[in-house]
Amino acid sequence: MTSNSHKGVRIRIAAAAVLAPALFLTACGSPDTSGSGGGGGGESGADGGSLSIATGGTGGVYYPLGGGFATVIRDNVEGYDATVQETNASVDNMLLIENGSAQLALAVGDVVADAVEGVNDFEGNALDICSLGNVYNNFLQPITTADTGIASVEDMAGKVISVGAPGSATEVAAIRTLEAAGIDAESGIDRRQLGVAETVAALRDGTIDAGFWSGGLPTGAMIDLASDGDMVIVPIGEYAAPMAEEYGEYYVEQEIPADTYEGQTEAISVIASPNILVASTTMDEQLQEDITTTIFDNEEALIQVHPAAEELDATTAGDVPFVDTCPGAQAYFDQAGS
């Protein structure tokens, strides 16, 4: 996992970044869910085809950044088109790779590790996947509003709490955080399962007390909520170490820099996890290398889509201890580090 700290992003930059993806996504078209082209079967990287990228909901970072990936792939990988799929994110994305409905997918480290090991949501079904690199860090951001009085995870006991959309990395990490704080995620809260946009809407209309979101900085839906002037991010960094000890080294304490969101004047300690771009191990090695090269060599274009792309670092992106790096990607990282 990269140890680079997140670069502070002011709200004026963030607002522009939320608009930028539209320029990329208009060219992405409808997702190809056939599983054909580029996905494997020993196909040559020169054969061409369509690559579907499994992302997340439109209110998060995966979807716009995936749109940026699709555009630079289309423009730079000869013979290949690329499209994005809106999904419930990490868990679903791994299953889409498995069944061939997607050839590339974004997922958070804990879910990728579970998929490799065949545990939890993937019990008895270890997936043959590999990493095209750690692209940026996710920050687990528990959000509430000032009038709820919630200032800690312990304060969530007995309240109406969204743990994230079903099949998302948010749900996995939120449940583990609640349990680390001594709260049973089934009986200790009135549990809801909402994506980030739905969480923001529910906080606004008072139908939930708090919600978790795991995503890059800044998250568009949270920028919108912060503009109301009463968004509160609950600090949870103290639970990173016990969670890492129990589950794996993909949980680290890290701060959301001050002024990431409007009205957030102080840094807030939360839990960060790496986001991995995943492919099937059957993908052609030359195609793996071409995709990796295209993404990491077009960092500046991707930053215009979302500031999370500032974390792209080819010298450390291959340092992912819980999943093998795809051999084609490793060839690129070896050159970048030489």
What CATH number corresponds to the domain at position 126?
A: 3.40.190.10
CB atoms within 10 A of CB 298: 19
- 144 and 260 both lie in a single domain: yes
Structurally, the chain folds into a number of domains equal to: 2
- 16 and 69 both lie in a single domain: yes
Specify the pLDDT at position 335.
Answer: 93
Q: Which domain holds residue 237?
A: 138-273
Q: What is the mean pLDDT of residues 75-99?
A: 96
- 124 and 212 both lie in a single domain: no
Instruction: Tell which of 273, 288, 306 closes a domain.
Output: 273
What's the residue count for the chain? 338
Confidence of residue 6 (pLDDT cuts 50, 70, 90): very low
- Please state, for a pLDDT cut of 90, what percent of the chain lies above it: 77
Instruction: Tell which of 273, 293, 324 closes a domain.
Output: 273
pLDDT in tens, 14-27: 333 333 444 344 33
| The pair of three-digit structure tokens given for residue 91, joined into one six-digit string | 């868990």
Task: Write down the residue that tokens 């030489």 correspond to.
Answer: 338
Query: Is 324 within the bounds of a domain?
Result: yes
Contacts of 19 (CB under 8 A, 6+ apart): none
CA–CA separation, 59 and 197 (whole Å): 5
| Cα separation of the two ends of the chain | 19
- 260 and 156 both lie in a single domain: yes
- 109 and 158 both lie in a single domain: no
By DSSP bridging, strand 160-162 and strand 210-215 are parallel
Query: Is 4 within the bounds of a domain?
Result: no
- 71 and 195 both lie in a single domain: no
Query: Is 97 within the bounds of a domain?
Result: yes
- Over its C-alpha atoms, the chain yields an Rg (Å, rounded) of 19
pTM greater than the 0.85 cutoff: no
* 72 to 24, 65, 243, 294, 299: CA distances (angstroms): 9, 11, 36, 7, 10
Q: What is the mean pLDDT of residues 255-271?
A: 97
Query: Is 158 within the bounds of a domain?
Result: yes
Query: Is 148 within the bounds of a domain?
Result: yes
Q: Is residue 47 scored above 80 in pLDDT? A: no
Q: Is residue 260 scored above 80 in pLDDT? A: yes
The amino acid present at 76, given as its one-letter code, is N
Query: Is 2 within the bounds of a domain?
Result: no
Cβ-contact 327, 284 below 8 angstroms: no
Specify the pLDDT at position 216.
Answer: 85
Specify the pLDDT at position 277.
Answer: 98
- 59 and 117 both lie in a single domain: yes
- 146 and 256 both lie in a single domain: yes
Query: Is 1 within the bounds of a domain?
Result: no
Q: Is residue 34 scored above 70 in pLDDT? A: no
- 40 and 103 both lie in a single domain: yes
- 77 and 159 both lie in a single domain: no
- 150 and 269 both lie in a single domain: yes
By DSSP bridging, strand 129-145 and strand 268-280 are antiparallel
Contacts of 133 (CB under 8 A, 6+ apart): 276, 277, 292, 295, 296, 314, 317, 318, 320, 325, 329, 333
Cβ-contact 273, 311 below 8 angstroms: no
Instruction: Tell which of 222, 255, 273 closes a domain.
Output: 273
- 206 and 331 both lie in a single domain: no
pLDDT in tens, 272-320: 999 999 999 999 999 999 999 999 999 999 999 999 999 999 999 999 9
Query: Is 230 within the bounds of a domain?
Result: yes
